[in-house]
Amino acid sequence: MKLLSICVPTLNRSKTIEQLLASLFRQVTPEISELLELCINDDSVDDSTEEVVKKYIARGEVDIVYHRNHGNTGLERAFLESVELSGGKFAWIMSDDDLFIDGGIKIVLEHLQTDEYDFMVIESNNFDERHGWENTAIYSIKDAVYDNATEYARVMDELVIPMTQVCVCIYRRTFWDTFNNKEEDITYKYFPHMKRIYDALPHSKRKTIAVSAPIINTRAYGQNYTKDVLIIWYHDLYRIVESNPAYAPVLENVRHTISQKAPFRDIKQLRRLIASKLYFGILPEGVYRVNYAVYKTIRKNLTSKERVTMFAVVATPSVVLKIGRKFKNIIAAIREKRAEAKREKSLKKSLSENTVIAGNLLLAKLRNTGSSAKKTDGNYFSTDEKLKVAMITPWNTKCGIAEYSGMLCEDLAGAVDFEIFPARDNELVRADEEFVQPRLWCNMFDGSLADLLNALKNSECKILHFQNQYGFFDLKTLTKMITELHNKKIIITMHRTAKMPLCDIADGLNLCAAVIVHSALDRKRLTESGVDDKLIKEIPLGQPEFPQEDAQKLRQSMGLKNKLIMGSYGFLMPHKGVLECIRAVAVIRQKVPDVLYIISCAVYPNAPSKDYFFECLNEIKIRNLEENIIVLPDFLPNEESSKLLQASDILLMPYKNTDESASGAIRFCVAAKKPIIATAQPIFDEFEGCCIKIPECTPENIAAAVEQLAKDKKLCNRLAENINIRIAETSREATAKKYYEVYYASL
């Protein structure tokens, strides 16, 4: 294994990449050659980059991995996939139009050879070859070493601005791959590498080093400023900083730093924008181009006082920051509106795909079939005097916790009168019931909780049950609400505890009557954050049960004659491994030509899910799997989903890394009583013995597990026995009784 892989994504820049390679090869000695490899990810079209690279490959001085994409895959994807080409212990993404400073490679390698560091940040010089000037160091980085285990927040606080430049960052590959969520990282425009860094730093056991010596030259006029420059700085960069609660203690400092360094730090530049309505200068010989429609929307949404301040000759960084925060929300809405329109257009086009049309025909046949099985009753027990409970939760929406809340209310209908205080949502599944109150709150990033607080104070319910998932409530605000509602008995279900600043809510949770979690790991995290263990109640998600259908009759009613049918269920999200399942079908088809994979996965109403849907459809088309895969992207009634799962031979749940504490989707698969393939992720630990585990989500692992289940009937029978035992032990009835006991004990 080489010590360092230099990874260069490139697009139609044969001239500058030749200069880059020349600056590298000038420094190569036999000793450096043994430690170094070069990985080039080429998106070029009608360009001579390939010839340039082949010339350097022929020299044989450095191992070169060259990959040609024959098309523009996009800046962010090119960044991340250039690292995927590498085999070195460390990876360094280098811009295709910058240069290595003589002697710089040796300095980097000497630091890496100590094996003390997971992450390195280097200094860069600015240069402009057209005017013959070379600037001093861009960032004025000071030599420093940080212990990541205790100083990860300090790394971000002090190095946030240099880290925005991808080519000053060098990573240990195991550090880089700590949270490998490529499809999510790509959404962080211009900064996909920073998302990886921020998520990995708190988990690193090694150190970060900052090097003051300039190692590279950055081309001043090569920066690609776009009409989205406002969005990139005032929204995207903040979004990354805010996405990881571990950095909450330094968040304000980092925001202040960004506000000073971001493009609008000089208010005079804003005045130039007004004067020209289109341009204002930033760099020598360079300009920003700003979409004037965006500017007008921003101006319209500012108060008159803010408009005066915004265009003043002098403004303090704190004022710029305050207005910048408002920019963030306004611009985010503009960008999302544009992106949503584009996605909806693509979605309508994609719904005409053969795989989706086949799914609609399948559903039509399914809905024409009756059910011979006896339906289960969700109302499990009743009491003479009902308790009154107000539940604060998403409700009647395409959301797993909304489904969970609905089942809990159904299961306790004979013993509890619920009053639901739901979140706002534009896509309701059905009309709200009479006991549902007005929708008064949004997520933590959008809106105030004041209206909700007043409504809860006025509610006759003495018990308040909050369903809390990351993003629902700002934890500090929730703590204040708990304090103000001291005359109520408050119960909070923490559906997720990973990567949450639990210290922000520990005091509030200790004022509650009970804190409900789904796993021992959640309990451990809470107690370590200062929550009283006596308050914590560990209650797993209730196991649903559905009428058991005759699988053969179901297949006949739907016209399915395939020898092997596989299925997946849940919301369609990138971490759930559906794309890898599609690729596994291509492998399985070689031995079972008429294999069928039914993807019963609803597209969630957000950008990552919709984009992933398009990617899955494209993968099906590329691999010519239209005859082997049916896609059902709609949110289906539970009864229909259950029949589809029961018609399958094997169910696939190969999740990738996730911070979720529990999975509702796998419980639906368990209810179908079919063999399940899952990954060895903590979220599936409670289902040990009910499924076979594969080490990681790869097409090869999935295909091998399918073949194993298809051949080993004894294994399938053993899994079925364990599933029946689990259903009995964790039934919705048993779970409902545990919740009732918590409610009753709180009074």
What structural domains and CATH numbers belong to the chain?
4-222 (3.90.550.10), 225-349 (no CATH), 382-543+735-746 (3.40.50.2000), 548-711 (3.40.50.2000)
The string of pLDDT tens digits covering residues 315-368 is 344 444 455 555 556 556 666 777 777 766 666 666 566 676 677 778 787 777
Q: Which of 50, 34, 43 is nearest to 1 (CA)?
A: 34
**DSSP reduced 3-state for 214:** strand
Contacts of 304 (CB under 8 A, 6+ apart): none
Taking a C-beta distance cutoff of 8 angstroms, is the pair 335, 297 a contact? no
CA distances to 91, 323, 509, 545 from 717, in Å: 47, 63, 44, 19
State residue 103's pLDDT score.
93
Q: How far apart are alpha carbons 293 and 277 in whole angstroms? A: 10
Cα end-to-end distance, the chain, whole Å? 63
State residue 350's pLDDT score.
62
Taking a C-beta distance cutoff of 8 angstroms, is the pair 105, 27 a contact? yes
What token pair was written down for 713?
A: 């009937």
Q: How far apart are alpha carbons 530 and 510 in whole angstroms? A: 8
Sign of CA dihedral 130, 131, 132, 137: negative
State residue 370's pLDDT score.
61
State residue 312's pLDDT score.
35
CB 268: neighbour CB atoms within 10 A?
13
HEC secondary structure over 647-675: CCCEEEECCCCCCCCCCCHHHHHHHCCCC
State residue 287's pLDDT score.
27
Task: Give CA 256 to chain center in angstroms.
Answer: 26
Q: Where are the beta strands (DSSP E) in 520-618?
A: 536-538, 565-572, 596-603
Helix (H) or strand (E) run with residue 466 in it: strand 463-468
State residue 137's pLDDT score.
78
pLDDT beneath 50: ranges in the chain = 222-230, 234, 262-295, 305, 307-321, 372-377
State residue 656's pLDDT score.
94
Tell me the DSSP string of 131-171.
Answer: TTEEEEESS-PPPEEEEHHHHHHHHHHHHTTGGGSGGGEEE
Taking a C-beta distance cutoff of 8 angstroms, is the pair 572, 578 a contact? yes
State residue 515's pLDDT score.
97
Query: The whole model's pTM is what?
Result: 0.54
State residue 450's pLDDT score.
85
